[in-house]
Amino acid sequence: MTLIWVGTCLLVIAGLLRMGLASLERMDRASVARAAAEGVDRAERHLRLLGRDGLMTMAGWRVEGVITILAATLLTAGLAAGEGGLAALWAVITTTAGRTAAGLLGRLWRGAEAMTWLVEVAALLHARLWRPRWALDSDETEPENQELSEEKEMISSVLGFSETIVREVMIPRPDMVTVQVSGTLDELAETVKEYGFSRFPVLDGGIDRVVGLALAKDLLPALAEGDSGATVAAIQRTPLYVPETKPVSDLLREMRRHGDHMAVVIDEHGGTAGLVTIEDLLEELVGEIVDEHDEEDEWLRVEEGGVLFVDGRFPVDDLGDLLGVALPQEEWDTVGGLVLALAGRVPAVGEMLSTDGVEFLVKEVLGHRVSEVRVRRSGGGVRAAAAG
């Protein structure tokens, strides 16, 4: 009876996994993202599973299929060995019916959402089972290898989330849109209209003196009461301050617990390093979340001959992956930071710098920041794998 019992247990596990997968299929990613931001139970897990173009759920379906086939094989072997033949035959016959029932329960019964943790386990198991194939793959231009590479990236994103720190995902101080505490509500309304954001850091003078946060939703009642001449100080809220070395996983939990949607990032000297929103944290976990206020921003484009034009904010490690080289990464995270380090000063437009067989031509400088760089390998463009 051993084969019968093992096969039956595997069949039950496959059914529960199928329920979790089916329940994910009926979820809307945007709704789940809002629920995760509000701290709804299990929403963060569901967002992870729905992210990265559904690759985690695809992995879950693969594992479910393998478990089901293994269960059916064991039950059939039990039948052939005469170990409880009628029980084995009945189990084999009901396999299809059981899978169908599990799928229907997952789609129709909200309680099936409790089984989604099995999908996460299945995705991690899938990553372990397929890891040797990843290690052997060298030409990622083939469609199958691209899929495996995407799956590896997806699993790495989930497992590496707790290792990412705020400095890696924050909006840097030069890109912050701020308002002054002494500014009027009319001026704040104009800023909201111009940029379309819902939250703004409030300054008392310079960028290193962030004293509050101004919310667009607090502005409307004040204007309705005829207080347009009042200052931003009348509606500002107390900001959340976090160090740039704080793990993003800890910050996400803290922001959900307190209902914060934006935090001011402080450097080791007490100055303002930047700001981070809950959307930034969720995007780090599941990929880009596009809303109606987002504008298309070309951080990287490939032109004829495989020449790259890169935004200065583009991550150095991502560029290194594209080029297939290990670019220096010490006290900087971005291409702009690398170029500044290579030059030892703010470089001039048109200046050429190089390292590790890669040439950087400065195309644009805004203030003290390198905003666009042309990148190519010395003596040639980017390889076809990067251009794709």
Rounded Cα gap, residues 39 and 35, in angstroms: 6
Rounded Cα gap, residues 355 and 339, in angstroms: 10
Q: Are residues 150 and 172 in the same domain?
A: no
Query: Which has more confidence, 219 or 129?
Result: 219
pLDDT of residue 55: 63
Confidence of residue 210 (pLDDT cuts 50, 70, 90): very high
User: Would the pTM count as exceeding 0.85?
Assistant: no
Q: Is residue 295 part of a domain?
A: no
The sheet carrying 262-266 orders its strands as: 171-172, 272-277, 262-266, 240-243
Looking at the DSSP bridge assignments, the partners of residue 242 are 265
Average pLDDT rounded to a whole number, residues 216-236: 82
Residue range 242-268, pLDDT digits in tens: 999 998 888 888 888 888 899 999 998
Look up the domain containing 28 and give its range. Answer: 2-163
**Count of domains observed in the chain:** 3
Q: Are residues 66 and 113 in the same domain?
A: yes
Q: Are residues 114 and 67 in the same domain?
A: yes
- 186 close to 232: Cβ distance less than 8 angstroms: no
What pairing do the DSSP bridges indicate for beta strands 358-366 and 369-377?
A: antiparallel
pLDDT of residue 176: 94
Q: Are residues 144 and 27 in the same domain?
A: yes
Q: Percent of the chain at pLDDT above 90?
A: 21
Q: Are residues 259 and 345 in the same domain?
A: no
Rounded Cα gap, residues 133 and 148, in angstroms: 8
Average pLDDT rounded to a whole number, residues 180-195: 91
Residue 309, SS3 per DSSP:
strand
Average pLDDT rounded to a whole number, residues 294-320: 75
Q: Is residue 293 part of a domain?
A: no
Q: Are residues 97 and 186 in the same domain?
A: no
Is the C-alpha dihedral spanning 145, 150, 155, 161 positive or negative?
Answer: positive
Residue range 126-156, pLDDT digits in tens: 666 655 443 444 444 444 455 445 555 555 5
pLDDT at 324 over 90: no
pLDDT at 206 over 90: yes
Confidence of residue 197 (pLDDT cuts 50, 70, 90): confident
Q: Is residue 257 part of a domain?
A: yes
Rounded Cα gap, residues 101 and 84, in angstroms: 25
Q: Is residue 292 part of a domain?
A: no
Q: Is residue 277 part of a domain?
A: yes
Q: Percent of the chain at pLDDT above 70?
A: 63
Q: Are residues 134 and 203 in the same domain?
A: no
- 71 close to 10: Cβ distance less than 8 angstroms: yes
